[in-house]
Amino acid sequence: MANVETLRPNPAPAPVPAVTVPADPQAFRTEDRLTGLLAFGIAADRREEATPEAIARCQREAEAALCDHALRYLHNNIERIRQEAVAEQIGRLRHPPGFLRMVAANLVALAIIGAAGAWLALHPETLAGLAGRLAG
């Protein structure tokens, strides 16, 4: 059996840096639990200490991120609801007439106009009366 040597052995996994958590997680609590949790997560991600300035900054960033997310979510849902409403309305509409029906309608219209023209040709006094009224 032959030995196979790899040219690039598997590299050792990179050491994972230890995550430091802010000293006082309770300091991030607000009336809105989600904002407090997100602010704590932002501070933990940046490895910031729980100073009052850092807490206030992280809470403002958390509120801004949550507002942006809520706006995007609302916009996407409104767009989806509109598309569903349009599809429903289109589904309720009758199908437009086909080619043969349109040709038949035009032939009927031509026959009616031809019959009216033939009747006017056979009754010249009616044609003269109409011409007199149209003339003024």
Residue 76 lies in a domain: yes
Residue 108 lies in a domain: yes
Q: What is the mean pLDDT of residues 78-107?
A: 94
Do both 100 and 87 map to the same domain?
no
- Greatest pairwise CA separation for the chain in angstroms: 116
Do both 114 and 75 map to the same domain?
no
pLDDT of res. 2: 62
pLDDT of res. 9: 60
Do both 106 and 126 map to the same domain?
yes
Count up the domains in the chain and report the number: 2
Do both 37 and 21 map to the same domain?
yes
Host domain of residue 70: 17-93
CB 39 within 8 A of CB 30: yes
- pLDDT tens for residues 106-124? 999 999 999 999 998 898 8
Residue 109 lies in a domain: yes
Indicate the pLDDT class of residue 21, thresholds 50, 70 and 90: low
Residue 8 lies in a domain: no
Question: How far apart are the C-alpha atoms of 89 and 75, rounded to whole Å?
Answer: 21
Judged by phi (left if over 0) then psi (alpha if -120 to 50, else beta), residue 69 lies in alpha
Residue 75 lies in a domain: yes
